[in-house]
Chains A and B, each alone.
Chain A
Amino acid sequence: MASLQKKICLLGTFGVGKTSLVRRFVENHFEDKYLSTIGVKVSRKQLAVATGTLDLLVWDIANADELGTVEKSYFRGAHGALVVHDLTRPESCERLAVYCKRFLEVAPRARLVFAGNKLDLIEAPQPSPQDYLPFTAGFSAPHFFTSAKTGAQVEQAFHALAEAILAAP
């Protein structure tokens, strides 16, 4: 069985739960306390995929609005990105397209998946990808609604990204 290594980045503004999603995905753990990420933290997770094992390098990157010129070196060599927004803060969607565009400028062949996080804090009605089309329409990417707290849809979002990367030509 072959082992492939792929790099993915988490993009999004501050406080949307990027670190919590990584922690849930990699360590199956959640902490309620908010700790602002500075710079980048790289974690590793092996995924079983149809062709063997995928060694995923997960780059948890600080607030995408504050990266400046260093973001290019963070994005270099990336194969995909999980683009995260906070379902409780509509303003966290406003610059999703900007983050995606800047990321794809450095990694043009990379794949994207959107994640609306903090699903546990949302009361009915449940969100739909259609609600977010004004922010995501330019990037034909799947949209998941996740909760790092409960774990809802977290695995699915990362797996979808991994599958999309592997399916890329």
Chain B
Amino acid sequence: MLHLDDSLERLLQAHDLGFAIIDRELRLEAFSELFGRLVLPGEIATAGRRLGELYPEMAGLQEEAERLLAAPGAIFTLVCVNRDTAAGETRLLDLNLTHLTAMPGKLLFTVQDRTEQRQLQQQVRQQRNELLLLQSALGAQQQTLAKTLLGRSPAMQQLQSRLHKVAQSPAATILLQGESGTGKSHAARLIHQLTHQTQAPFVEVNCAALPESLLEAELFGFEKGAFTHAVKAKPGLIEAAAGGTLFLDEIGELPANLQAKLLHVIENRSFRRLGSTQERQVQLRCIAATNRDLAGAVAEKKFREDLFYRLNVVSLTLPPLRELGEDILLLAEHFLKIYNLDFKRNVTGFSAEARHALMAHRWPGNVRELRNLIERAMIFCEGPILRPADLALPPTAAEPAPLPFSLPAEGLQLEDMEKSLLQQALQRAGGNKTRAAALLGLSRDTLRYRLEKFGID
């Protein structure tokens, strides 16, 4: 039936190439069995049919056909054409159209099924693209996180709102309070980013990390000869923070002598290097953070009262993780994404039991503890999801008793807090008063009485 040269036909068949002879109108004149098998599902190859009806990728190529006929040796190629078969598979075809030299006015069309080879390429590309998409998503999330705090709970929403207000205020000092690991350093950076230009310095000092003499030199800088090893002058961290933010972590550990000097810096916006009599001016915002009860330290004469009141003009308290409800899972999933990338893993989530264990744990180390726990779990886990055994959390029964509620240094409005707790309990219980009462350790009647008292519907 075909009129190709025998040797050419054998060659095409030896290379698993389906082929057809096509006229200049792109109509089928003759074709091989393989050509007929690879046409669009539902179509049947017969002489006289348009090539574009059987291979829609070749539709509209009339001009191209004329060009090929006019330029012997030219070839038109379409690689990696996806073709869904009637069986629901996708085959990947390479199509070629060229002038048939031995038959003037005719074109040779070939089709080759290269599915196996192309699928390997697809798998490599798929993995690479998935990684790039994950990196991109994580990068975007981290950019967002750098401008906000992760969390949807009322406590976090309120903190975010207050944090933005504080950042926009002209306050020269801000006090951040909260348990260890609640993210005070992150909050300080956030305030800094919301306040200053990108290039403004953010200088972090841990007041508990250095002995008093060294801390003083580090903070205030020194002149040459100020002490035995002061062979040349060195500016301190206060100078380094000029025009930006000085973040003093663990301010409660600041020695008494330095407390007085820091108060001077805050109140006068000036300081002296060690060994110098020259007063230097500095413009900066001072953010101090502590996990200690500073008011208590003042009462015990361990922290200067004047410095406490100066720092405490604007203060924010970061909530402990155990009070953030579903935010625990939100943060856990965030860390899971980070360590998937870091460790090149593909752990897809948490089992229901693991989620329950995360919610039940009391998190004495707060977000830092959660992050470390997920990191450790990701190193050792072998399955596609994290299970309680991977998390290795201590049993709930072994948890220490809840710490008594600590009164914030700035005091609180008891009735406002009670109203807020009632609303939160109702929200968490989905409006179910029996469950809300259980959350607050109240009877249903007591809860109803209190709801009526505050006019909560």
Q: Which residues of A contact B (CB under 8 A)?
A: 5, 7, 14-15, 34-42, 44, 57, 62-63, 66, 70, 73-74, 76-77, 88-89, 91
Contact = CB atoms under 8 A, between A and B. Distances in A.
Interface string B106-128: 00000000000010011001100
Interface in B393-420: none
A135 B76 CA distance: 32
Contacts of A39: 79-82, 92, 118
Given A42-B56, A89-B140, A36 B126 contact: yes
A38 B115 CA distance: 11
A5 B121 CA distance: 32
Nearest to A14: B129
B59 A88 contact: no
A15 B56 contact: no
B133 interface: yes
20 contacts: A14-B125, A14-B129, A34-B130, A35-B126, A36-B130, A38-B118, A39-B79, A39-B82, A40-B80, A41-B81, A41-B82, A42-B57, A44-B56, A70-B78, A73-B76, A73-B77, A76-B64, A88-B140, A89-B140, A91-B136
Contacts of A77: 60-61, 63-64
Contacts of B59: 5, 7, 57
B71 interface: no
A7 B126 contact: no
A40 B126 contact: no
A151 to B, nearest CB: 22
B132 interface: yes
Interface of B: 56-57, 59-61, 63-64, 76-82, 92, 118, 121-122, 125-126, 129-130, 132-133, 136-137, 140
A37 to B, nearest CB: 8
- Determine chain B's interface SS by DSSP, over half rule: helix
B60 A5 contact: yes
With most chain B CB atoms within 10 A of its CB, the pick from A7, A15, A39, A89 is A39
B132 A15 contact: yes
Contacts of A76: 61, 64, 76
B80 A38 contact: yes
A40 B122 contact: no
A8 B221 CA distance: 68
* For the complex of A and B, 5 pairs with smallest distance between CB atoms: A39-B80, A41-B82, A38-B122, A77-B60, A36-B126
A143 B168 CA distance: 36
B82 A40 contact: yes
A63 to B, nearest CB: 8
Contacts, number: 74
A41 B130 CA distance: 20
Contact of A57 (B60, B78, B121, B130): B60
A15 B76 contact: no
Contact of B78 (A35, A36, A74, A89): A74
Given A38-B80, A40-B82, A44-B56, 6 more contacts: A36-B126, A40-B81, A42-B82, A57-B60, A76-B61, A77-B60
B137 A38 contact: no
B56 A57 contact: yes
Nearest to B126: A36
Contacts of B76: 73, 76
A48 to B, nearest CB: 20
Contacts of B63: 77
Contact of A88 (B77, B80, B137): B137
Nearest to A55: B59
B136 A40 contact: no
Contacts of A91: 136
A70 B122 contact: no
Nearest to B67: A76
B67 to A, nearest CB: 10
Nearest to B97: A73
A63 B132 CA distance: 13
Contacts of A74: 78
B121 A38 contact: yes
Contacts of B133: 14-15, 34
A41 to B, nearest CB: 4
Contacts of A37: 82
Contacts of A62: 80
Contacts of A7: 59-60
Nearest to B122: A38
A76 to B, nearest CB: 6
Contacts of B77: 70, 73
A82 B86 CA distance: 29
A108 B437 CA distance: 71
Contacts of B82: 37-42
A81 to B, nearest CB: 15
B293 to A, nearest CB: 39
A138 to B, nearest CB: 26
A84 to B, nearest CB: 15
A96 to B, nearest CB: 17
B447 to A, nearest CB: 35
B92 A73 contact: no
A129 B297 CA distance: 57
Nearest to B61: A77
B136 A89 contact: yes
